[in-house]
Structure 1
Amino acid sequence: MATLNLVKLCVGCDSVEDLEAWIASSLDECRRSGEPIEDYHTTRMTPTRGAELLAGGSLYWVIKGNVQCRQRLLEIRPFTDGEGISRCRLVLEPTVIRTDWQPRRAFQGWRYLKAADAPADLGDGAAAALMAMPPKLRRELADLGLL
């Protein structure tokens, strides 16, 4: 079975650092409230290709018009909320893995992303130098088409 991924806009985050801070805050809130300590994202639609997604797939985050990072998918949990609306929790590995930047236009919801079309993870060397730059500078360079 081929691995499949999801891609989604990371609304409200201006950088990968913002996403990492949000995850840390969310996990801290779970600890304080006594809830299971896990990172998840709630969506309206439940993916129909769950087996392919859970065979090593990730949720790739689009931040400011570029795929910039991913989180590994651990579980897909459909549920009905208090208002009777079907929803889905995408349970994620809390570790954020930075990727090559890949431009992406705005869209609603999430989309499937084939493994062959997914951006590569950043490694060492030039990638480490890129991550050492302040987020604002990285964004300006990306806007100029230099990243």
Structure 2
Amino acid sequence: MILNLVKLCVGVDSVEDLQASIDFGLADKKSRGVEVIQFHTTRMVPKRADELLDGGSLYWVIKGNIQVRQYIQEIRPFTDPAGISRCRIVLEPRLIPTVWQPRRAFQGWRYLSVKDAPADLTAGDSGILALPPELRRELADLGLL
């Protein structure tokens, strides 16, 4: 059974900002000669990792709305230099825009079932993607997105 995660994307104002951050991080890793992967580090290791790795995604909450997702490729538990257990959630760097879904602030991550996850935007929704991020945010605040 497929399971997803939802997480706040702190410090990011738009999907474009998130993509720029991912691109910068991957280019930096390549220039330093380290493994070129995109991941998100968390404190807790998901207990339902098998379900996440069965085709699950990480849905990002940006400015109060789920706006985009990334496929989860791998879960890598590790211990940091301070001896604290952590987890790297390895993600496909490609962002998949979704229908916006409002979310209140929370800490950490939450599981998200397939039935509760927002749908992906399709080619028919290309007009929404063409709008500037500020306008999309204003429309979402008005409940129109």
**What is the TM-score when the length of structure 1 is the normalising length?**
0.98
Calculate percent identity across the aligned residue pairs. Answer: 66
Q: Which runs of 5+ in 2 are unaligned?
A: none
Q: CA deviation at 1:63?
A: 0.2
Match of 2:12 in 1: 13
Aligned match of 1:130 in 128, 131, 142? 128
Q: Which runs of 5+ in 1 are unaligned?
A: none
Match of 1:98 in 2: 97
Match of 2:76 in 1: 77
**1:87-127 Cα deviation digits (max 9, x unpaired):** 000000000000000000000000000011000000012x1
After superposing on structure 2, the runs of 4+ consecutive aligned residues of structure 1 that deviate more than 4 Å are none
Match of 2:37 in 1: 38
**1:56-93 Cα deviation digits (max 9, x unpaired):** 00000000000000000000000000100100000000
CA RMSD, aligned part only?
A: 0.5
Match of 1:114 in 2: 113
Amino acid at match of 1:139: R
Amino acid at match of 2:136: R
Aligned match of 2:139 in 128, 141, 147? 141
Work out the CA distance in 1 between the residues paired with 2:101 and 2:136. 13
Work out the CA distance in 1 between the residues paired with 2:69 and 2:46. 17
**What is the TM-score when the length of structure 2 is the normalising length?**
0.99
Query: Is residue 47 from structure 1 mapped to residue 58 from structure 2 by the alignment?
Result: no
Q: Tell me, what secondary structure is at the counterpart of 1:19? A: helix
Work out the CA distance in 1 between the residues paired with 2:96 and 2:143. 22
